[in-house]
């Protein structure tokens, strides 16, 4: 017996694809649903539907069976086809090539004129433009109101659901401080939450920020931390920035730091923005963008 297996986003779509390939209707096949599929949540846990469609075996026709088939055919003509059969017929029709008689017209001669050359004057960059230090934008603090407290509860629920989908057991604590919501994650799987160079933690914070601000007129700053990782990381970066600044000032040579994300680069700029002996600037493109510490007096 001829059969096909189809995988699609849902059961109906898989059945339609199978009927189109076999060129059959639902009463001519046996349909087995192997997997119903699942939509998942935020892209996690998505499963596609899978069905097996088998053509029914054709037996030798007898007089009685011919009469029964004739009755069934007449009954089917009088009734309305199912939605699945309608969609299968439409899809099959779309796949058939469309024949058209196209008359070729002689090509017209098109006169083209050479484009006029435009002279562009390029002025050299000024010295202060070349060594422009990347400074963080100062954002105004936002007062937390009752609506934003409600938003905090929704945000915590979203983050907890997200961690559950990652099979991470964690306890969340939140506080409102200086116009921002700080969420600390307590978990024995802290390393998995943080990820390489804090990339997973940054992604979680970004998604949480989007959820927290989706219905707010004012934007609320969100900080997601794990076992005080950000505080320890910030102290480590500041110490490293001071040490590299001393090296640049002493040797009178520029010092290039390792590639960092935007948050870590901002810490370096803030740490050295008032330094008398060095300046900082960022070079390159993400994910290889890094901070260069340059001596003021070479």
* Alpha carbon distance 280, 260 (integer Å): 14
Rg (C-alpha) for the chain, rounded Å, is 33
Domain ranges of the chain: 1-56+81-91, 146-227, 231-295
Helices 146-165 and 199-212: crossing angle in degrees, nearest 10, is: 140
- pLDDT means per 10 residues, the chain with 298 residues, are 83 82 81 80 70 76 49 46 64 57 50 49 42 40 51 84 92 85 91 88 90 77 89 92 94 93 91 94 90 89
The CATH class, in words, for 146-227 is alpha beta
8-state DSSP, 44: B
CA distances 214 to 60, 155, 156, Å, are 65, 10, 14
CA distances 133 to 241, 268, 272, 280, 288, Å, are 15, 11, 11, 5, 18
pTM exceeds cut of 0.75 = no
CATH of domain 231-295: 3.30.1370.50
In this chain, the answer to whether the domains covering 146-227 and 231-295 adopt an identical fold is no
């Amino acid at each position: 017996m001829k059969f096909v297996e189809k995988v699609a986003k849902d059961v109906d779509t898989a059945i339609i694809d199978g009927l189109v390939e076999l060129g059959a209707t639902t009463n001519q096949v046996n349909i087995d649903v192997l997997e119903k599929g699942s939509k998942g949540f935020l892209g996690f846990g998505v499963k596609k539907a899978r069905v097996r469609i088998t053509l029914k075996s054709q037996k030798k026709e007898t007089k009685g069976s011919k009469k029964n088939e004739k009755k069934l055919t007449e009954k089917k003509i009088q009734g309305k086809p199912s939605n699945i059969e309608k969609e299968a017929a439409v899809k099959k029709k779309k796949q058939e090539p469309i024949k058209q008689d196209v008359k070729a017209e002689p090509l017209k001669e098109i006169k083209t004129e050479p484009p006029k050359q435009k002279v562009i004057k390029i002025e050299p960059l000024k010295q202060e433009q070349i060594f422009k230090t990347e400074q963080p934008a100062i954002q105004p603090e936002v007062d937390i109101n009752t609506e934003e407290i409600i938003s905090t509860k929704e945000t915590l629920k979203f983050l907890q659901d997200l961690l559950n989908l990652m099979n991470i057991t964690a306890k969340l604590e939140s506080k409102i401080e200086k116009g921002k919501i700080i969420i600390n994650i307590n978990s024995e799987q802290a390393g998995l939450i943080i990820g390489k160079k804090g990339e997973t933690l940054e992604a979680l914070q970004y998604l949480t920020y989007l959820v927290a601000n989706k219905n707010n007129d004012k934007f609320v700053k969100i900080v997601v931390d794990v076992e005080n990782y950000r505080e320890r990381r910030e102290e480590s970066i500041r110490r490293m920035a001071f040490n590299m600044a001393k090296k640049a000032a002493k040797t009178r040579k520029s010092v290039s730091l390792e590639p960092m994300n935007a948050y870590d680069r901002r810490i370096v700029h803030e740490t050295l923005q008032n330094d008398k002996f060095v300046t900082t600037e960022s070079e390159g493109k993400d994910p290889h963008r890094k901070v260069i510490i340059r001596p003021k007096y070479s």
